[in-house]
Amino acid sequence: MLNFSLPRLDKDEELSSYLRKYCRLRPGDIWEDKQSGHKVGCLDATDIKAVQKFFGYDKAVLAIQDPPYNLVAFKKRNVQNFIKWCVKWVQTSDMVLTDNSSLYVWLGADQKNNLEPFADFILMMKSSNLNIRSFITMRNQRGYGTQKNWMSVRQELLYYIKGNPVFNTKFVYTDIPKVVKGYFKEISGKKTENLERSKSDKIRAGNVWIDIQQVFHLMEENVNGCFAQKPLKAIERIINVSSNKGDIVSDYFSHSGTTLLGSERLSRICYTIDIEPIYCEISIRRIENYRTNGKIGWQNSNPFAEEIAYDKKLKSYLENKYDITVPQNL
């Protein structure tokens, strides 16, 4: 395993400035995939005209949004301004969704600070054109330890709908086998046990997901530099359940490119954008890496390993600030 990690890109503007010169997209640019029809745009999710131009006459049946809610936690933006910003991208999300569609939103709930911005976001969404369908919790394996409170290990996921969207129930099952039996029920005069009546020998995920591994550096899907990367298994569950093959899936915060990769693997078309050129480049490289090498990430290496190895200034910066040793042979 190549050990060549990157620090968090969202906390180091100088490092980001070094990496942007290796990005093929600049603000306003769009990459179109000739093989599967995907699009990646370096755009602002709140820019109505830019989003309209990006989608054209196309519409998505599913949107998966993972906004940078850590802006509130880091005090970079107060919760009121964060919610005002959310109103804008929710509107542009709604604008490009079909009449029967789904919207999933990953969000945080800071238990140190009045559960911000989770509670405020839910209240804001009451005035939107979408209806809440479920509040899903994904259990993380690691959390914020404390001796004075319950450890925070949950990841919040909100599920909204428009109209009557697709919901493929055959994909709601986990890999966990059912082991509890003995619940009998009489149906049409016949007494049956619960496992006999079941449509699957596996348990349903429900709205508490306990079967998904939180991404960490030893996993192949890990993308170094991308904080709070969402697991591919979670994204693919959403895509499988709330869309069909050939459908368009949208994502306004591409980040590590997981929605794009999941769409590729499941024969959907992904229209994804990100305001940061680096995340656009990472998303494109991730799907290219998958097609070329069959890999779903870089494990403990990173998407810019080759460029860093030949960039003396960038290599020196990483070595001096982070004590990261650049491997001689990549």
- pLDDT tens digits, one per residue of 200-214: 778 889 999 999 999
Judge whether 162 and 99 are in contact, CB under 8 Å.
yes
Q: What is the pLDDT of residue 325?
A: 85
Cα 204 to the center of its chain, rounded Å? 21
Q: What is the pLDDT of residue 179?
A: 61
- What ranges in the chain are assigned the alpha helix state H? 13-20, 48-55, 70-73, 79-95, 118-125, 194-197, 232-242, 258-265, 277-293, 305-310, 312-322
Q: What is the pLDDT of residue 14?
A: 96
Q: What domains can you pick out in the chain, each with its CATH number?
A: 23-177+205-303 (3.40.50.150)
The yes-or-no verdict on residue 43 having pLDDT over 80 is yes
What the block records as the tokens of 134 is: 């479920």
Return the closest-CA partner of residue 263 out of 288, 236, 285, 290.
Answer: 236
Which of the residue ranges 78-87, 192-201, 304-313 would you say has the lowest mean pLDDT? 192-201
Count of positions (residues) in the chain: 330
The yes-or-no verdict on residue 103 having pLDDT over 90 is yes
Q: Using pLDDT thresholds of 50, 70 and 90, give the confidence band for residue 191.
A: confident
Q: What is the mean pLDDT of residues 103-125?
A: 93
Output the pTM of the full model. 0.93
- pLDDT tens digits, one per residue of 231-253: 999 999 999 999 999 999 999 99
Judge whether 215 and 229 are in contact, CB under 8 Å.
yes
Q: Using pLDDT thresholds of 50, 70 and 90, give the confidence band for residue 110.
A: confident
